[in-house]
Amino acid sequence: MARSGPKLTRIARALGVSAATVSNALSGKGRVSAEMAEKIRATAAELGYVPSLAGRALRTGRTAVIGLVLPDIANPLFPQIAQAIELAASSAGYGVLIADSRGDVTTQTKAIERLIDRDVDGMVIVPRRGTRIADVGCPVAVIDTPSTPGNTVAADHWGGGRQIAEHLKALGHRSVLVIGNNPASNVQNDRIGGIRSALAEDAFVETLWIEPLEREQGKGCPLGLAEKVAQGFTAFACVSDLHALRALTELQRAGINVPERASVTGFDDLIWSPVVTPALTTARMDMTRIAAIAVEALVKAIGERDPTDAAIGAPVTAANAEVPMQLVVRQSSAAPPRTQFQPAQTIANASTIADARTSAPEGEHQP
């Protein structure tokens, strides 16, 4: 059986001082000379002394542990967020307990309650879509989207949408189908809002929501993208890489080459996005920066809180609440085919397309 690390008394006996002197030196409290404190720290290091977290919790009223609540641990995006939070928390001297709400409001509430029962000092919460985090009994940092009330820090999802749209517009796309999953998601709505705002005067944009379609036609049903290509859509801007992979697969199975006949873009730059064929154009979140801001704001709130005070208030705020996203251009996006028809609405709404039509070479199909 492995022995546990040495207690304060072993260090005290080795140096001929009291355990209280050792405790004061290691915690930086009490009247201990600088020379003796240095000897104590050196002896503790030699003996492999590890401070007792339970003992520290009794002394300070804090556990040096924060909770992390994620909406869906099965989504490959959220393990990336968890890793970034754990790294930032570890650098600040905190451990992390992780809970999964599995996309359910009731489960999210229970997950928060379980973490409170385990005496975490604070929490980072990535909320289930459409929910708002209020006072939960400890300091909280919320990572969602800037438009969410009480948000602490987030990627600039609207700005990321604009970057995707500007990229497609520069390639020449004037008929874009935006693919979202659920209209209740603040993040998805912000991304779609950014795309639409950048294309408003230059292109015809339509939105397809997957969940309402699946309620009618069944889980995993075709999205009808081949028909959209036949109608003249040349680009499919998806609000996540998961949905972009679904679009890419459906188009390829229908014999529609990407990006030769249709471009596909995503969001989040998941771990497999560079290795699918074709590699996926996407918008990447700066997860390291987001996690650092969230943990820094949370640790500051924990430090300012009286551990005996149960009144917490609203989620903590940070000075830099929006972190820019980065456009990552790969092989899934390219200029649209010159002979591709565009939806009739584009001709009616976009003067730039009408101008292009009048100057087209004879025999070439224009929108």
Specify the 3-state DSSP secondary structure of 119. coil
pLDDT (tens digit per residue) in 133-162: 766 778 889 888 887 777 889 999 999 999
Evaluate if residue 78 carries a pLDDT over 80. yes
Residue listed under structure tokens 């917490």: 312
pLDDT (tens digit per residue) in 87-113: 999 988 899 999 998 878 888 888 888
Which segments within the chain are labelled E, that is strand?
65-70, 95-100, 122-125, 140-142, 154-155, 175-180, 204-209, 235-238, 263-265, 282-284, 322-323, 326-328
308: pLDDT confidence band, cut at 50, 70 and 90? low
Specify the 3-state DSSP secondary structure of 99. strand
245: pLDDT confidence band, cut at 50, 70 and 90? very high
Evaluate if residue 49 carries a pLDDT over 90. no
Please give the Cα distance from 355 to 84 (Å, whole number): 49
Contacts of 325 (CB under 8 A, 6+ apart): 155, 156, 157, 159, 160, 163, 283, 284, 285, 286
Please give the Cα distance from 365 to 356 (Å, whole number): 11
Please give the Cα distance from 361 to 338 (Å, whole number): 11
Evaluate if residue 212 carries a pLDDT over 90. yes
Chain-wide mean pLDDT for the chain? 83
Residue 185 to residues 148, 217, 279, Cα–Cα distance (Å): 10, 21, 26
pLDDT (tens digit per residue) in 269-307: 999 999 999 999 999 999 999 999 999 999 988 888 655
Domains and CATH numbers, the chain: 8-51 (1.10.260), 65-155+286-325 (3.40.50.2300), 158-284+327-358 (3.40.50.2300)
358: pLDDT confidence band, cut at 50, 70 and 90? very low
**What is the crossing angle of helices 34-47 and 8-15, to 10°?**
120
pLDDT of residue 52: 57
